[in-house]
Each structure stands twice: as structure tokens, then as C-alpha cells.
């Protein structure tokens, strides 16, 4: 096919060592009018420093969301790409593929779409970019036949992400893939039919390294952790000290512990004050062979993370310091907790208000009461420092704590 | 004739075990330890004694099906036909056989896919949509990612940073690229330009008013038509009104600038997760290669690399050396705009005599 548009700006992005998206676009443009005009519009954006897409309404039968509609504002100049919609499709947890399924997805996309596929979007979806309104249903049907389903868009539960986790990481503290699927597949209705105040994201990280950035990028972060002692292989500790040297171990392990709970003994063994370990992962990250998370593993749950709009960036806040995730009942109660949170937020959140913003507005204590969780010191960095607070019911509240504690003691 | 209408199968998230490398499936939850034999390669050993080698390579994320088919071909030839992707659009090939690592790397390099992104390297930048597909972009994303990854390619393929470096870009102030060690974000500097003829027909005015974080928008009659007006003294130029009301154009080819933020960290390792902080603004939005922003990123990374201790993330390094020294070392100006005035700002001030001279 003859080159449709000159692209002097984009051409400059074909040189250099990093793989060039422009080169791929050009390959597609050789056989496909839509991508030829898309390249033209992108070049136009580069030349004028402006975007030329507007939204609209496009969806597939039975679903409200999942397609990101894009209509060009310059369709006269670039008619073949005047409709350039994206289908968000949920990948398997951990983003595993065999080549057979990837090829089938490519075949579908060459047939029904532009041939441009982003792996993956910031939302965690496979993004099939570039589809006409007419073809969206056919493309989705074919993808759906392969066992893949639409992701979230709009005021809905959104596509989730989980780390590689137990599939290939020794730090994994729970079954990320199962937790991810169990939770998400309990919310397909809220995912496909946007009817919440705003978006709601779940993310699952297998350990406190939080490779999924869940503390900041999800409304409900499920992060693996453990309650018992760090597992130590004494021989491997000795071997590590021997190879790296004592100074390395002191400078890079012992003195970097945030709660100073480690010491290097005269016999080159390591002593850990596990009661003060905050499960930060640093020593385990450095000494991957000698140290591992404990055996009594589970998750910490934080709620309310999000980026800037509207009230400023928020990290998630601990609402469940520790929860086991092993039995069917454990998973059921995780789903129930998520349902309770989403229901409460759907009821009390303002339009376009994220869950964390609602918590900021009503206060964490009220939120906890609303979803039926008891307050715990692990939920705060420090108690309040401002004395302007009304505390008429102090005795009542203090009794709740005392009773919970007696129960806890009694249970031991 | 009516076409047969197919009902969607609401199957949700697919089962990963269908697509997982058999060695990962077999050792699921049984991994014991790992090491990194060289940049871009991970070696994991399971409690059962199985071993798996992972080769990580960078991709352009926005891939044509030809590129994906090429990666599939490589996976079939060298890696048992399985791949996975990381959160930063790197592709990973898993190998049961150590001897196949080197030939796979050679093949990837030959086909133009850099091998790296592991450990204390700079991984692929978190990539957003930009001009290519966003309806509200102030700049492009793919081009920025490509330019910066070209300029810092050596830091992707080597592990010579003090700790891992995570970068992000965002093409508007919604910042879907997220927090990162270094984040390059569009920063608008002028209030929206309102096309009053269109507001009444396109925008749901009360929800636009509600969207403004500083209550600078109010309903108004302009030229006899219901519209919206902005108190330009209050306006923080965030662009939050633009998505629900496109006639409030915030993007400006000249006045939409880039700002750089540093010290975002989501991991709990050592220090608690931390937000990124503004270090420089007013950089030109200069396609196709954004040389000014790239130069600042390079400068900051160089200072970090030269001065930080092993395992210190960028923000942890600054916490140790202090902001006085950071601005001194990088040569970036410290301005009144660096002093926060949002809610919670008082917690960001120095309430002590801890000062470095």
C-alpha cells in the first residue's frame, strides 16, 4: 500500500536501542487503512501538541462498560481511523500466556481490529486498540469464545492485577491467583455494568514488596504477610557472611532494618527480634537464600488508595492487619468484606468520590463502624494529636476494647 | 434477516493455570530462593529441587500483531511456548534448561528486544496512553517512554543503580502513570479556555462544578446562554473539569508544561511507602523526543547513582542526604512552589533544627 501520510516527527522515534512502536505501526499501516490514518493523526498531534480524540458511547450486548470509545475530532483528514475504540480484556492473573492463545488473539485482532495490541494497560487489561463501532461486537464475541472477558471502565469495579506470586516467587505469602479470581469473579456484575459512585480497584501483591503498587493504585489492596518468625537457614546465613563479608552484612542488612531488630553475632549467625519485625522484606530481599517469610502466612488489607483527583493522593489504610487466606471460608469472608465495603461506599459515597476520599470525608472510625470492623492500633501511625474531639462515650468505647481483649485472652 | 445475537459468556478473569509454564504450575507455592546470574536473568529454585531461569526483555508495549507473533516464535523456539508479562510491559520467557539462556538472549538482542530490567536496574517506564488513544492528553506517552528508554537504555540492561528505579509518565494531571521514583507529568499552567457556546449542550453543569477540587467553577449565563465560569485566581489548572466538560479546554500547546516528581515508593522495604515530591516544573512539552525532560531525569539519576548507598531507593537517599543537598547536587532551583499548601501541608514542613549545612 502506498504511504498515506508523511510522518517526520514520528520517524525520529524509529532510531535508538529501545523497540520502536512507530516501526510496528508502520508495518500495520502498510496493509491497513485504519492504521495508516492513525499514524497520520498521531503525527498531527505531535506537530500541533494536541490530542484529537473524544469519547462517546459504544458497548457490547449485555454489558455497559469495557469498551473505551474514541471518535476522531479530525475525521476529514483521517477518515479510516475516525472510530478507533479500545476493548479492555482481562488477562489471567500474573499475565501468563502460551503462544497458542496469543496467536489466536492476534488472529482475531487482525481480522476485526487494527492489529495494535497493548500488553498491558495501566488498568491491567490487554488493550485491543483500534476497532470500528461496527466491529466491536464481532471482535468481542471471538475473544469471549476463547474464554476471555471484558474488563472494567467507568464507575465500576475495575480489572485487577496480581503479581507473579506463588507461580515463581518464594516471597509469596498467599495464593494470589486464586484470591484474585475469587474476588473478581464475584463482582462481574459490578465490573460489566457501571453503577457505582466511581471506579473501584482491587490489587493483589504476594508480599510487602508490593510489586503491584497496590497501596497506592487500588481501593482495596490485599498484600501478603506473615505472623510468626522469619525463617532462617543458619548454614546459608554463615555462607552469605563469608562471601559478602561482615561489613557488607552490617551495612546492608543489620543497620537497614527499620526497627533495629537484627544483630550479627560473633559466630556470624543472625539474631532477629521477631516481635519487633514489621515485615518490611528488606533483609529477605538481600539474603534471598538464607531468609524467608515465616510459615504462618496471610494478608494485610488496606483500603482507600488512589491518585490525585480530587483531594490529593492517598495511600491505602490498614483495615485488616492480618487475615488467613487458606480455606474456602477464608476466601468467602474476603469476598464478603469486599462486598460490605463496596455496598457501604455505593450507599454513602458522593458521585465521582473514590472510596478513600469518602473515608477521608467521614473519618476512618465511622467507616469501620459502617462496615462492622473494630478499631485496632495497627490501623494508625499514631493516635490523634488534636484535642478538639468530643468523647462523651469514652467508657462505652473503652469497654468494647476490654471485652475484645478478655475474649482474646480467654481464647488462648 | 436478524442476525443471531450472541449473549456474552460472563466468564470473568481467566484461569492462569491454563497458560502457565508447566514448571511454574508444578512448583506453584513451592519456590525456595532465587538469584540473578546476570542482568535480565532470574534463577529460581524450588523446595522440590526444580530450577527455572527467567529471561526478561523490554517491549514497546504498543505492539503490532507482527511483533507479538515474533515474540511467540521466539518463545516456541527457546522457551517451551510460554511467556508472561510484568506490570511494566516487560516480557518474560521461562526456561527449564540453563543452557538455553544464552541463545535466547542472543536471539532477543538480534531481534531488537533489550534484555534487562531486573534487580537494581531501571525498568521500563510505566506507560500511559497519550496522544495515541486518550481523550484528554496534554502530551504523548509512547514517544516519551521510547525517548527516555533510548536515553537510559544502559541503565535497563545493567544492574548498577543503588536499588531498583521505577519511572512513570502521565499525560495529564490525573496521573494514571502513578507514583514512581521519578515521574514525568504534564502540568498545566493556565486555566481552561471555555467555549461558552457548547457548554450547555455538552456538559452536565452541576457535576462539573462538583468536580473542581478548589470550588473555582460556578454556573453563569454567558451571552445569554447557560454556561460555566472559572474564578481564575482560585483555579489550580488541574484539568479535572475537562473530562466531564470538553468545552473547558485545558490542554495548551505552549502553556502545558512538564513537571518532574521524585521519591515515590510503594514497597514497604525498609521505609514505609512514600509519595513522590515535586522537584522541577516548567519544562517544555517538546515532541518527538522531549530532550529537556530527559536531560533532567538523567541528571537526577546520575546524582542518585553517584551518591546513594546500596539498597537505598531514590526517596530514601534524599531522606538521608536532605533536600538542601538534593537541590544543590542536581542544580535544580528551589522555589515557592515546592512548599506545599494543600491539606496536610503542615506535616511537610521542617519543625526541627535538623538542618544540613
List pLDDT tens digits, range A52-76: 999 999 999 999 999 999 999 999 9
CA distance B346 to B343: 8
Q: Is residue B9 part of a domain?
A: no
In chain A, what residues touch B84 (CB-CB under 8 Å)? 94-97, 164
| Residue-averaged pLDDT of chain B | 96
Q: What's A161-227+297-411's CATH class?
A: alpha beta
Q: Is residue B122 part of a domain?
A: no
Give domain status of residue B330, yes or no. yes
- Is 50 exceeded by the pLDDT of residue B221? yes
Are the C-beta atoms of B33 and B45 separated by less than 8 Å?
yes
A131 CA: distance to closest CA in chain B (Å): 12
Q: Answer yes or no: do B271 and A258 touch at CB < 8 A.
A: yes
Q: Is the pLDDT of residue B21 over 70?
A: yes
Residue A156 per-residue DSSP state = S
User: Considering CB atoms only, which of B44, B76, B266 is closest to A210?
Assistant: B266
Q: How confident is the model at residue B33 (pLDDT cuts 50, 70, 90)?
A: very high
Structural contact between residues B122 and B152, judged by C-beta atoms closer than 8 angstroms: yes
Can you tell me which residue has the cell 512502536? A21
Residue with cell 542536581: B330
What is the CB neighbour count within 10 angstroms for residue A206? 32
Q: Rounded CA gap, B69 and B89, in Å?
A: 16
Rounded to a whole number, what is the distance in Å from the CA of A45 to chain B's nearest CA? 6
CATH topology of domain A8-145: Alpha-Beta Plaits (3.30.70)
For residue B336, is it within any domain? yes
List the single residue in A20, A122, A180 with the smallest CB-CB distance to B60: A20
Q: Is A136 at the interface with chain B, CB within 8 A? A: no
Residues B38 and B137 in one domain: no
Task: For residue A283, name the pLDDT band (cuts at 50, 70, 90).
Answer: very high
With 0-12 / 13-18 / 19 or more C-beta atoms within 10 angstroms meaning exposed / middle / buried, residue B279 is buried
Decide which of B204, B225, B248 is a domain's last residue. B248
Using DSSP's 3-state secondary structure scheme, residue A298 falls into strand
Within this chain, do residues B180 and B292 fall inside the same structural domain, yes or no? yes
A35 contacts A115 by C-beta, under 8 angstroms: yes
Judging contacts by C-beta atoms under 8 Å, the chain A residues touching residue B6 are: 61, 141
Averaged pLDDT for residues A326-334: 98
Angle of CA points A322, A324, A330, to nearest 5°: 125
Domain harbouring B302, CATH code: 3.30.413.10
Q: What is the pLDDT of residue B176?
A: 86
Same domain, B61 and B198: no
Strand arrangement of the beta sheet that strand A116-119 belongs to: A67-68, A85-89, A126-131, A116-119, B62-64
Domain final residue, candidates B228, B248, B268: B248
**In this model, does residue A411 exceed pLDDT 60?**
no
A8-145 and A161-227+297-411: identical CATH topology = no
Looking at the partner chain, which of B25, B68, B264 has a beta carbon nearest the beta carbon of A117?
A: B68
Q: How many CB atoms lie within 10 A of CB A115?
A: 27
Q: State ipTM.
A: 0.96
What are the extents of the domains in chain A? 8-145, 161-227+297-411, 231-292
Within a domain: residue B327?
Answer: yes
Residue B161 has pLDDT above 50, yes or no: yes
What is the end-to-end Cα distance of chain A in Å, rounded? 77
Backbone phi and psi for residue A117, each to the nearest 5 degrees, phi listed first: -135, 125
Choose, out of A44, A89, A93, A97, the residue to mutate when testing the contact with B (most B CBs < 10 Å). A97
Options 3.30.70.20, 3.40.50.300, 3.40.50.720, 3.30.390.50; CATH of A231-292: 3.30.70.20
Residues B296 and B198 grouped into a single domain: no
Which CATH number does the domain housing residue B219 bear? 3.30.70.20
Per-residue pLDDT at A243 exceeds 70: yes
Q: How far is CA A248 from CA A254, B271, B308, B333, in A?
A: 9, 20, 15, 36
A272 CB-contact burial (10 Å; exposed 0-12 / middle 13-18 / buried 19+):
middle
Question: pLDDT band at residue B49, thresholds of 50, 70 and 90?
Answer: very high
Identify the helix (H) or strand (E) that includes residue B147: helix B142-151
* Cis preceding linkage at A86, omega within 30: no
Q: Which of B248, B265, B285 is the last residue before a domain boundary?
A: B248
Evaluate if residue B173 carries a pLDDT over 50: yes
Domain of B207? 193-248
Q: How confident is the model at residue B2 (pLDDT cuts 50, 70, 90)?
A: low
Q: Tell if the CB–CB gap between A115 and B65 is shorter than 8 Å.
A: yes
Q: Are B291 and B257 members of one domain?
A: yes
Close Cβ partners of B140 (under 8 Å, ≥ 6 residues apart) = A42, A45, A46, B130, B131, B132, B171, B287
The interface residues of chain A toward chain B in range 372-411, judged by CB-CB distance below 8 A, are: none
Average pLDDT, chain A: 96
Distance from CA of B229 to the nearest CA of A (A): 19
Domain count within chain B: 3
* Res. B303 pLDDT band, cuts 50 70 90: very high
Which pLDDT does position B1 carry in this prediction?
A: 47
Mutate to test the interface with A, among B268, B270, B289, B347 (most CBs of A within 10 A): B268
Q: Which residues contact A408 (CB under 8 A, 6 or more apart)?
A: none
- One domain for residues B185 and B309: yes
pTM here is 0.97
Does pLDDT of A314 surpass 60?
yes
pLDDT in tens, A130-188: 999 999 999 999 999 999 999 999 999 999 999 999 999 999 999 999 999 999 999 99
> Cβ A172–B31 below 8 Å, yes or no?
yes
Is the pLDDT reported for residue A48 higher than 80?
yes
What is the pLDDT confidence band of residue A309, given thresholds at 50, 70 and 90? confident
Rounded mean pLDDT of B225-247?
A: 95
SS3 at position A119: strand
Share of chain B above pLDDT 70, in %: 99
User: For residue range A72-121, what is the model confidence (pLDDT) as tens digits?
Assistant: 999 999 999 999 999 999 999 999 999 999 999 999 999 999 999 999 99
**B172/A7: higher pLDDT:** A7
Q: DSSP letters along A51-76, please?
A: --EE------TT-SSSEE--EES-TT
Query: Is residue B257 domain-shared with residue B335, that is, in the same domain?
Result: yes
Give the residue ranges of DSSP H helices in A89-196: 99-112, 133-145, 176-184, 188-192
Amino acid at each position: 500500500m502506498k504511504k498515506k501520510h508523511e510522518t517526520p516527527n514520528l520517524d525520529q522515534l524509529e532510531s535508538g536501542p529501545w523497540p520502536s512502536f512507530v516501526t510496528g505501526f508502520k508495518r500495520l499501516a502498510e496493509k491497513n487503512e485504519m492504521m495508516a490514518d492513525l499514524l497520520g493523526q498521531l503525527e498531527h498531534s505531535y506537530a500541533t501538541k494536541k490530542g484529537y480524540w473524544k469519547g462517546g458511547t459504544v458497548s457490547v450486548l449485555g454489558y455497559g462498560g469495557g469498551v473505551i470509545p474514541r471518535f476522531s475530532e479530525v475525521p476529514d483528514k483521517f477518515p479510516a481511523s475516525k472510530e478507533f475504540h479500545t476493548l479492555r480484556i482481562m488477562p489471567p492473573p500474573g499475565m501468563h500466556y502460551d503462544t497458542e492463545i496469543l496467536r489466536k488473539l492476534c488472529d482475531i485482532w487482525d481480522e476485526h481490529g487494527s492489529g495494535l495490541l497493548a500488553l498491558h494497560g495501566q488498568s491491567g487489561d490487554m488493550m485491543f486498540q483500534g476497532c470500528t463501532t461496527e466491529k466491536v461486537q464481532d471482535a468481542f464475541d471471538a475473544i469471549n469464545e476463547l474464554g476471555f472477558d471484558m474488563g472494567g471502565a467507568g464507575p465500576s469495579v475495575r480489572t485487577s492485577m496480581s503479581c507473579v506470586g506463588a507461580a515463581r516467587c518464594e516471597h509469596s505469602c498467599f495464593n494470589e491467583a486464586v484470591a484474585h479470581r475469587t474476588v473478581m469473579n464475584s463482582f462481574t456484575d459490578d465490573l460489566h455494568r457501571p453503577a457505582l459512585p466511581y471506579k473501584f480497584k482491587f490489587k493483589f501483591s504476594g508480599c510487602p514488596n508490593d510489586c503491584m503498587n497496590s497501596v497506592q493504585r487500588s481501593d482495596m489492596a490485599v498484600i501478603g504477610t506473615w505472623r510468626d518468625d522469619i525463617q532462617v537457614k543458619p548454614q546459608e546465613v554463615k555462607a552469605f557472611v563469608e562471601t559478602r563479608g561482615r561489613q557488607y552484612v552490617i551495612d546492608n542488612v543489620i543497620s537497614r532494618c527499620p526497627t533495629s531488630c537484627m544483630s550479627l553475632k560473633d559466630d556470624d549467625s543472625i539474631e532477629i527480634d521477631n516481635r519487633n519485625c514489621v515485615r518490611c522484606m528488606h533483609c529477605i530481599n538481600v539474603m534471598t537464600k538464607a531468609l524467608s517469610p515465616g510459615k504462618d502466612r496471610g494478608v494485610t488489607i488496606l483500603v482507600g488508595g488512589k491518585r490525585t483527583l480530587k483531594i490529593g493522593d492517598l495511600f491505602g489504610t490498614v483495615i485488616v492487619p492480618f487475615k488467613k487466606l487458606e480455606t474456602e471460608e477464608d476466601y468467602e469472608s474476603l469476598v464478603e468484606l469486599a462486598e460490605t465495603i463496596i455496598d457501604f461506599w455505593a450507599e454513602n459515597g458522593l458521585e465521582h468520590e473514590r472510596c478513600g476520599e469518602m473515608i477521608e470525608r467521614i473519618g476512618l472510625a465511622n467507616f469501620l463502624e459502617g462496615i462492622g470492623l473494630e478499631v485496632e492500633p495497627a490501623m494508625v501511625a499514631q493516635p490523634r494529636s488534636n484535642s478538639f474531639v468530643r468523647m462523651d462515650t469514652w467508657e462505652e468505647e473503652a469497654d468494647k476494647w476490654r471485652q475484645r481483649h478478655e475474649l482474646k485472652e480467654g481464647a488462648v | 434477516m436478524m442476525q443471531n445475537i450472541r449473549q456474552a459468556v460472563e466468564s470473568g478473569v481467566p484461569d492462569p493455570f491454563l497458560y502457565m509454564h508447566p514448571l511454574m504450575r508444578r512448583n506453584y507455592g513451592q519456590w525456595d530462593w532465587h538469584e540473578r546470574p546476570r542482568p535480565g536473568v532470574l534463577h529460581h529454585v524450588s523446595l522440590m529441587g526444580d530450577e527455572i531461569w527467567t529471561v526478561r526483555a523490554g517491549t514497546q508495549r504498543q505492539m503490532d500483531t507482527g511483533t507479538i507473533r515474533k515474540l511467540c516464535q521466539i518463545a516456541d523456539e527457546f522457551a517451551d511456548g510460554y511467556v508472561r508479562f510484568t506490570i511494566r510491559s516487560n516480557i518474560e520467557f521461562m526456561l527449564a534448561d540453563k543452557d538455553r539462556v544464552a541463545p535466547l538472549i542472543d536471539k532477543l538482542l538480534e531481534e531488537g528486544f533489550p534484555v534487562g530490567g531486573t534487580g537494581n536496574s531501571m525498568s521500563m517506564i510505566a506507560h500511559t496512553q497519550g496522544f495515541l488513544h486518550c481523550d484528554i492528553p496534554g502530551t504523548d506517552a509512547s514517544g516519551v517512554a521510547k525517548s527516555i528508554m533510548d536515553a537510559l537504555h544502559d541503565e535497563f540492561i545493567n544492574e548498577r543503580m543503588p536499588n531498583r528505579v521505577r519511572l512513570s509518565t502521565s499525560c495529564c494531571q490525573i496521573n494514571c502513570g502513578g507514583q514512581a521514583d521519578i515521574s514525568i507529568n504534564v502540568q498545566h499552567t493556565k486555566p481552561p479556555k471555555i467555549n461558552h457556546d457548547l457548554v450547555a449542550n455538552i456538559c452536565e453543569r452541576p457535576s462539573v462544578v462538583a468536580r473542581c477540587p478548589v470550588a473555582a467553577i460556578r454556573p453563569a449565563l454567558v451571552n445569554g446562554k447557560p454556561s460555566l465560569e472559572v474564578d481564575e485566581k482560585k483555579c489550580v489548572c488541574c484539568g479535572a473539569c475537562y473530562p466531564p466538560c470538553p468545552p473547558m479546554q485545558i490542554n495548551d500547546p505552549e502553556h502545558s508544561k512538564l513537571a518532574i516528581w521524585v521519591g515515590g515508593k510503594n514497597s514497604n522495604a525498609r521505609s514505609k511507602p512514600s509519595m513522590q515530591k515535586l522537584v522541577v516544573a516548567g519544562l517544555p512539552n517538546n515532541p518527538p523526543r522531549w530532550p529537556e525532560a530527559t536531560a533532567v531525569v538523567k541528571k537526577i539519576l546520575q546524582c542518585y547513582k553517584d551518591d546513594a548507598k546500596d539498597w537505598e531507593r531514590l526517596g530514601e537517599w534524599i531522606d538521608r542526604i536532605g533536600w538542601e543537598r538534593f537541590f544543590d547536587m542536581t542544580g535544580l532551583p528551589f522555589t515557592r512552589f515546592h512548599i506545599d499548601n494543600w491539606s496536610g501541608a503542615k506535616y511537610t514542613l521542617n519543625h526541627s533544627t535538623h538542618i544540613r549545612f
